[in-house]
């Protein structure tokens, strides 16, 4: 039985809505440069969802004018364990062992479940 690698998932099928960096900046009330910094510092994750799209951020990563609570810590932890933004986004939007997708649990303030599950993926 071969499992699909996280990097091989079609992000455009997993994530319903994507935001360009300028849209993220508008929602957060910051500059596009700050969005770039937030991605580099793992407060947000971005990927190219389809060919020639340019990097975008999943819309569900933002809630009430800021990154979803617990998301920056989760992204940092997963990066520390060797995952890239594309893999992290795929995992956050897959319905795996949690009841529902990790992004939904984060948005419902059930981040500890998500963090435990992500920690168990580290070899």
Is residue 123 scored above 70 in pLDDT? no
pLDDT tens-digit series, residues 9-51: 889 999 999 999 999 999 999 999 999 999 999 999 999 998 8
Decide: 12 and 58 in contact? Cβ < 8 Å: no
pLDDT confidence bin for 2, thresholds 50/70/90: very low
Burial state string for 64-79 with b = 16 or more CB within 10 A and e = fewer than 16: eeebbebbbebbebbe
């Amino acid at each position: 039985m071969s499992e699909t690698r996280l990097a091989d998932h079609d992000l455009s099928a997993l994530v319903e809505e994507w935001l360009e960096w300028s849209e993220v900046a508008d929602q957060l009330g910051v500059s596009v440069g700050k969005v770039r910094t937030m991605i580099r510092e793992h407060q947000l994750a971005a990927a190219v969802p389809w060919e020639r799209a340019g990097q975008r951020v999943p819309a569900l990563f933002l809630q009430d004018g800021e990154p979803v609570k617990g998301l920056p810590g989760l992204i940092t932890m997963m990066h520390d364990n060797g995952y890239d933004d594309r893999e992290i986004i795929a995992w956050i939007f897959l319905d795996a062992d949690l009841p529902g997708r990790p992004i939904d649990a984060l948005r419902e303030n059930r981040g500890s479940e998500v963090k435990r599950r992500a920690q168990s993926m580290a070899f």
